[in-house]
Amino acid sequence: MASKNPPTGLFAPQIQGVLFDLDGVLTPTAVIHRRAWAQLFTTYFEAHSVDPPYTEQDYYTYIDGKPRFNGVADLLTGRGIALPLGQVDDPPGWDTVAALGNSKNQTFNEILAAEPMEPYLGVVDLLDSLEQHGIQMAVVSSSANARLVLDSAGLLSRFGVVVDAAVATAQRLAGKPAPDTFQFGANQLGLRPAACAVVEDAVAGVAAGQAGGFGLVVGVDRGTGAAALEAAGAGMVVSEMTELLP
C-alpha cells in the first residue's frame, strides 16, 4: 500500500507557528489603505503641481508593507520632495512627513468606520485548521490599526500575539523589510524562526521573512505579482487563502 505524501506548506511537520501579515492577507484592508493613500497624495500632488501624478503603482513601489511614515518619506523622495519628519503626534496636515501620514490614517479610520470589514475567502477555515493541528498563530503588521481591524473582522480573539506599529515602536523594532518584527513575533510564540512560516502580500514583508531565516515564506498575490513576490524570497505564492488549506 502506497504511503500518503507528507503534508507541505503551512502544515509541514517542521512548521509549529504561522505569522500572518494583516492587510491584504487576512482582511481586504489593503484596498482601504490604497484608497486612503490615493486620496491623500492625489490631492497633495495636485495642490503642489507635482509631476508625475500619483498612481496605484506608487503604492506598490514606495508604500506597501512599510511603516506609514517610511512609506510617506520614500514616496516624497521618489518625487524629489523634502519635508521635515515632524513628530509622531503631528496633527493631520501637509507640513511634515508625520502630518501627511496622520492625514492618511484619519481617512483610513473614516472609511473603516463606514464600511463593514470581512475576512478574505478561506481565512476562517484556514485559522480553524491551523488551530486543530496545534499550530500557533500571530499577526505581524506595520499598521497602527491592526487590533481595530482584527476586532472589526471578528478575528481578534484568534491571536494571542499581535505585533503592530505600537509594539514595534515600544520595542524599538525596525520595520519591514527588516525581519525584526517577525522575529519578535516568533519569540513571543516561544518559537525559533526556522519553525515558523510567514504569510505576506507585500514585497517588503516577503523580504523581511526571507531575511529572518523563517522556515517558509508564503506570498499572497493581491496585485503585487507572483514574480515580484518570488524575487523577494517567497518559497510559494498563492492567490487565495483557500490554497493553503491541507
- Asked whether residue 192 falls in the same domain as residue 162, the answer is yes
* Domain contains 106: yes
- 50 and 35 housed in the same domain: yes
| Domain end point (choices 59, 82, 114) | 114
Contact (CB, 8 A) for 241 and 122: yes
| Pairing relationship of beta strands 196-200 and 161-163 according to DSSP bridges | unpaired
139 and 17 assigned to the same domain:
yes
Are residues 37 and 134 part of one domain? no
Regarding whether 128 and 107 lie in a shared domain, the answer is no
Average pLDDT over residues 113-133: 93
Identify the band that residue 1 occupies on the pLDDT scale cut at 50, 70 and 90.
Answer: very low
Residue 1 lies in a domain: no
Whether residues 123 and 64 share a domain: the answer is: no
Reported as a pLDDT band with limits 50, 70 and 90, residue 2 is very low
List all residues 6 or more positions away from 28 whose beta carbon is below 8 Å from its beta carbon: 117, 118, 120
How far apart, in whole angstroms, are the C-alpha atoms of residue 14 and residue 160?
21
Count the helix, strand and coil residues of the chain and give each as a percent rounded to the nearest 5: 50, 10, 40
- CATH number, residue 47: 1.10.150
From 89, 114, 139, give the residue that closes a domain.
114
Please, is 98 exposed, middle or buried when counting C-beta atoms within 10 Å of its C-beta (0-12, 13-18, 19+)? buried
Q: Which domain holds residue 98?
A: 31-114
pLDDT at 12: 96
Lowest mean pLDDT across 9-13, 15-19, 21-25, 31-35:
31-35
The rounded distance, in Å, linking the Cα atoms of 130 and 224 is 26
Mean pLDDT for the stretch of residues 114-120: 88
List the one residue out of 203, 198, 204 whose CA is nearest residue 218.
198
For the residues 22-41, what does the mean pLDDT come to?
93
List, for residues 151-203, the tens digit of each pLDDT value.
989 999 999 999 999 999 999 999 999 999 999 999 999 999 999 999 999 99
Do 73 and 146 have their domain in common?
no
Q: Give the domain-ending residue among 83, 114, 145.
A: 114
CA atoms within 13 A on the CB side of 190: 3
Q: What residues are paired with 19 via a beta bridge? A: 138, 198
Residues 164 and 132 placed together within one structural domain of the fold? yes
- Across 43-118, the runs of DSSP E, i.e. the strands, are none
Instruction: Give the CATH number for residue 227.
Output: 3.40.50.1000
Shared-domain flag, residues 210 and 94: no
Quick one: average pLDDT of 111-134?
93
| Catalytic machinery residues | 21, 23
Residue 6's pLDDT is: 65
What value does the mean pLDDT take over residues 5-29?
A: 91
Q: What is the pTM of this model?
A: 0.79
Tally of domains in the chain: 2
Predicted pLDDT at 27 = 95
Q: What percent of the chain has pLDDT over 90?
A: 84
pLDDT computed for residue 211 by the predictor: 97
Mean pLDDT across the chain = 94
pLDDT at 8 (0 to 100): 82
Does residue 126 contact residue 171 with C-beta atoms inside 8 Å? no
What is the DSSP pairing of strand 161-163 with strand 216-220? unpaired
